[in-house]
Structure 1
Amino acid sequence: MTKKELRAQMIEHLKKQDKAVKAQRDRELFHRFIGLESYQKAQTLATYLAFPFEFDTSLLLEQAQKDGKQVVIPKVYGQGKMVFVSYDAADLKTSTFGLKEPRSNQAVDKSLIDLIHVPGLAFNHDGYRLGFGGGYYDRYLADFTGSTVSTVYPFQTLAFEPSQFDIPVKEVLRYGEL
C-alpha cells in the first residue's frame, strides 16, 4: 500500500470513530500528556489546531495556558515552510488546508520551544510518523533539539518503513499503553 493510500485509509478510520469513545480516549491521552516530565518542564509548548477527527488539542491549549506556558501553533507557507506563532484564539484565520492558523507572521524562534506536540495519521513502533504528506513537520524537526510527543489512538500504530527524510517523534503516547 502506498503512503497516499495509507493516509486516505487512516483519515477514513479516524473520521469513523465513535464520538463518545474518541472523547474518552482524548481525555486519557490529555491527562497522560500533562503528566509528562517534558510537559511539566516546558515553558513554551507547540501544538496544533486539530481537525475534528484528530486528538482534541483544545484540552491541551487550555491547560497549557492555565499552567502559564507560552503556547505556539503552526503557520504554514508555500514550499513546505512552517513556523510557530504565539497562539491567540481571537486572532485566527482559516488556512488553505481548512484549519485555523494565526494571522500573525511573528515566528517564535525554534530554540525557544521546549516541547512540540506533533500530529500524525499513523506511527510505527520506532516513532516515525505518517503525516498529511506535506513534509512540514519533518523539515521543521530536522534540527529541533527539544522534546517531541505525539498522541495516538490504538489503530494508528502501523508497520511501515520511513523514508530518508522522515524524523521520528521522541515519545509516542499510545492510548491503552502505560
Structure 2
Amino acid sequence: MTKSEWRKKIKSELLSMEGNDRKVLNEKIAAQLFKTELWQNSNYIGITVSRKFELDTTTVIKKAWEEGKKVCVPKCYSANKKMEFRELSSFDELENVYMDLYEPVIDRTKVIPKENIDLLIVPGLVFDKKGYRIGYGGGYYDRFLQNYQGSTLSICYSFQTAEQLPFEVFDVPVEQVITEEGRYI
C-alpha cells in the first residue's frame, strides 16, 4: 500500500472504534509505557495532545505531571514547516488551532530546547517492526528528529502496526513502539 492508502485505512479504523474499547486499550497502552525505562528515566517528556479519534494522550500527560516530570507539547509553524516544543503545566495553556489540533498558547508557555527533551513520544498513524512510521503527511516530526539526540518511542493500538511500511531516506525510525499487547523493537 502507498502512504496515502495507509493513512486512509488507519484513520477509518480509528474513527470506527467504540468508546469503551478505546478506553480499555488506552489504559493498557499507558500501563505498558509507564513500565519502560525510557519513561522512568525521563525528566522532560515531549508529547502531542491527542485529538478525539486518536489514542488518548491526556492520561500520559497527567501521569507525567503527577510524577514531577516536565511536559512539552509541539507548536507548529506552517509557513516554514517547523515546530518547537513548549512546556505545558495545565491544559488551560492550550488553544484549538487548525485541524482540531491543540497547541500551547505562546504567551503562556516557554520554549523548551530540543536537547532538554529526554523522551519524545512520536505520533503517527501506522508503525512498522523497524520503528518507521507514517504520520499525517506534514513532515514536522521528520524534520525535528533529524538532529534530535534524546530517546524516541511511539504508542498506538495494535491495529496501527504493520510488518513493513514504505519509507524515505529522510525518515527517522523510533526506538520502541508500544501497543496494548506490549513492546517491540
Band the TM-score falls in, shorter-chain normalisation = over 0.9
- The aligned counterpart of 1:41 is 41
Letter in 1 for 2:176: E
Aligned to 2:59: 59
Match of 1:70 in 2: 70
User: CA separation in 2, counterparts of 1:48 and 1:67?
Assistant: 18
- Cα distance in 2 for partners of 1:152, 1:100 equals 19
CA distance in 2, matches of 1:116, 1:177: 18
Match of 1:6 in 2: 6
Determine the C-alpha separation between the residues in 1 that align with 2:60 and 2:115: 21
Identity among equivalent positions (%) equals 34
From 85, 89, 92, give the equivalent of 1:90: 92
Structure 1 residue 174: Cα displacement = 2.4
The yes-or-no answer on 1:32 pairing with 2:37 is no
1:155 maps to 2:162: no
Among 165, 169, 173, the alignment partner of 2:170 is 165
Q: Is the 8 A contact 2:131 2:175 kept in 1?
A: yes
User: In structure 1, what is the Cα distance between the partners aligned to 2:148 and 2:15?
Assistant: 31
Where does structure 1 differ by over 4 angstroms across 4 or more consecutive aligned residues? none
- For normalisation by structure 2, the TM-score amounts to 0.91
Which of residues 112, 128, 136 is equivalent to 2:140?
136
**Alignment gaps of 5+ in structure 2:** none
CA offset digits 1:14-73 (Å, max 9, x no partner): 111121111111101101111111111111111110011211101011010010011010
Q: Distance in 2 between matches of 1:94 and 1:174?
A: 28
Q: Find the aligned partners of 2:182 and 2:31 in 1 and give their Cα distance.
A: 13
5 Å-filtered alignment, 1:100-119, equals 100-104=102-106, 106-119=110-123
Return the letter of the residue paired with 1:108.
Answer: I
Q: CA RMSD in A?
A: 1.3
Code of the residue aligned with 2:54 in structure 1: it is: E
- Distance in 2 (alpha carbons) for counterparts of 1:175 and 1:142: 28
| Deviation for aligned residue 1:175 | 2.1
Q: CA deviation at 1:92?
A: 1.5
Structure having the larger proportion of residues in strand: 2
Whole-Å Cα distance in 2 between the matches of residues 75 and 92 of structure 1? 10
Q: Distance in 1 between matches of 2:52 and 2:75?
A: 18
Amino acid at match of 2:92: A
Distance 2:91 2:18 in 1: 28
What TM-score does the superposition give when structure 1 sets the normalisation length? Answer: 0.95
SS in 2 for 1:162: coil
The one-letter code matched in structure 2 to 1:94 is N
* Alignment match, 1:81: 82
Count of residue pairs brought into register by the alignment: 178
- Structure 1 CA distance for aligned equivalents of residues 140 and 155 of structure 2: 18
CA distance in 1, matches of 2:91, 2:158: 30
Are 2:101 and 1:99 aligned? Answer: yes
Aligned pair partner of 1:146 in 147, 150, 155: 150
